[in-house]
């Protein structure tokens, strides 16, 4: 059963809510619904952030490949450093999800 809920807010608050809803890619009503139900609301990524995410993901994969290559060549310390760097990048990438 659907229902209608109304509440009063100032014009400034309405503009702020509308702006935040737009950043999250949601309608104003869906944004308010999620906020009221304590559902996590994330802003959508910008094109620049998407490009950075893809680039970091490629770097992480490349460091993993380099580390695997070095393990086969008996360069353990450098391989460990590459794996650590790869793990750090992946850790930061998890924040985007």
Give the tens place of pLDDT for each residue, 17-75.
999 888 888 899 888 888 888 888 777 777 888 888 888 888 888 888 887 777 767 67
Going by C-beta distance under 8 Å and a sequence separation of 6 or more, which residues neighbour residue 45?
53, 96
Mean pLDDT over each residue of the chain, to the nearest integer: 82
More confident residue, 95 or 89: 89
In the chain, the number of structural domains is 2
Structure tokens at 45: 């990524």
Regarding whether 55 and 40 lie in a shared domain, the answer is: no
Same domain flag for 78 and 51: yes
Cα-to-chain-centroid distance, residue 56:
13
Let me know the angle formed at the C-alpha of 41 by 37 and 45, rounded to the nearest 5 degrees.
Answer: 165
Q: Is residue 73 part of a domain?
A: yes
The set of residues, in sequence order, having a beta carbon less than 8 Å from that of 63 and lying 6+ positions away, is: 82, 83, 85, 86, 89
Residue 75 lies inside a defined structural domain of this protein: yes
Print the domain residue range for 88.
47-94
């Amino acid at each position: 059963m659907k229902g209608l809920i109304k509440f009063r807010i100032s014009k400034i608050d309405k503009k702020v809510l509308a702006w935040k809803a737009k950043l999250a890619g949601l309608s104003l009503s869906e944004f308010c619904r999620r906020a009221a139900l304590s559902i996590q609301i994330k802003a959508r990524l910008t094109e620049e952030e998407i490009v950075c995410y893809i680039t970091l993901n490629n770097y992480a994969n490349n460091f993993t490949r380099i580390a695997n290559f070095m393990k086969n060549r008996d360069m353990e310390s450098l391989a460990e450093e590459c794996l650590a760097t790869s793990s750090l990048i992946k850790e930061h990438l998890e924040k985007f999800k």
